[in-house]
């Protein structure tokens, strides 16, 4: 799966969450921070973790969303887990 494809799927998940919807228009900006920019709440984080695991068939082992600072960090993790 290409990085762009990962981001497209990730966007589907983020649309279900409480992330700032203005940042979800167009292509996702990997440099944006999950809490400072997207404004994720704890439930938003939970949606995202569970959504990613379901959508990509991967698991967050010994790592939580709080370990990721930017959206790019999340995409990196998914990319590695899919290899």
Q: Minimum distance between the CB of residue 2 and other proteins, rounded to whole angstroms?
A: 22
Phi, psi dihedrals of residue 28, rounded to the nearest 5°:
-65, 140
Q: Binding residues for other proteins, per CB under 8 A?
A: 12, 15-16, 18-22, 38-39, 41-44, 46-47, 49-51, 54-55, 60, 64
Q: Which is nearer to other proteins, 13 or 75 (CB)?
A: 13
Nearest-approach distance from CB 83 to other proteins, in angstroms = 22
> 4 or 21, CB closer to other proteins?
21
Question: What is the nearest approach in angstroms of other proteins to the Cβ of residue 80?
Answer: 19
Q: Using alpha carbons, select from 27, 30, 7, 6 the residue that is nearest to residue 83.
A: 6
Are the C-beta atoms of residues 56 and 82 closer than 8 Å to each other?
yes
**DSSP tag of 68:** -
Residue 35: closest CA among 15, 17, 19 = 19
Our CB check for other proteins shows the closer of 4 and 41 to be 41
């Amino acid at each position: 799966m290409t990085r762009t494809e990962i981001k497209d799927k990730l966007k589907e998940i983020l649309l279900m969450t409480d992330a700032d919807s203005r940042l979800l228009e167009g292509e996702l900006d990997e440099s944006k921070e999950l809490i400072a920019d997207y404004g994720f709440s704890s439930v938003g984080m939970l949606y995202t973790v569970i959504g990613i695991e379901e959508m990509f068939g991967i698991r967050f082992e010994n790592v939580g969303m709080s370990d990721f600072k930017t959206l790019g960090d999340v995409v990196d993790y998914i990319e590695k887990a899919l290899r």
